[in-house]
Structure 1
Amino acid sequence: MPRLVGLSDHVPMRPLWLCRVCAAPWPCQPARLMLTRDYRRDRIGLSVYLAGRLFDATGDLITLNPDAVPPPTELFDRFLAWTRRRAGPGEG
């Protein structure tokens, strides 16, 4: 599979958890695309990997500014909710 130029550069800048390239909250859209491609045959592995990053991000953000940590639902949506399997045609 050909490498998508620059896509792998969309990594988190810790402790802020912003993308080093586009400064969007990480995982940004390009990072999500890269992760989806890299874990295309292992959705559970992707979820486990991102759960670890969610844990790291929560600790970093609390240490950085305990009064400005995003709510847990926002962090869950940012790191994990997008990895859920989409229902296909005819599925509930």
Structure 2
Amino acid sequence: MTRHGPVLPLWLCETCDKPWPCVTRREELLGEYADASFTLAVYMGTYLVSAEQDMSWAQPDGLRRRFLGWVP
């Protein structure tokens, strides 16, 4: 189980205090969804929708890159 979960509504990592998903969590998710990149994209898309609501001040393109740009 990860200790790199999001702290809401700021979407910072609870362990390393970096923007979530942090590098560690991304690596964990890539391992967990190694054979299911579409499912990972859908999963992260749900987080993106929530983050867009919480951080309405953030640039939408930046949030998309943050939540989906690293998904293969």
Do the structures match in fold with TM over 0.5? yes
1:20-57 deviations in whole A, cap 9, x for unaligned? 00010000000001100111110000000000000011
5+ long unaligned stretches in structure 2 = none
> Which has more radius of gyration?
1
Q: Does 1:83 align with 2:36?
A: no
How many angstroms apart in 1 are the aligned matches of 2:30 and 2:6? Answer: 16
> Given the two structures, how large is their TM-score scaled by the length of structure 1?
0.74
Alpha-carbon offset, residue 60 of structure 1? 1.4
Give the corresponding residue for 1:59. 53
RMSD (Å), alpha carbons? 1.1
Residue 42 in 1 paired to residue 36 in 2?
Answer: yes
Structure 1 stretches of 5 or more lacking a match? Answer: 1-6, 63-68, 85-92
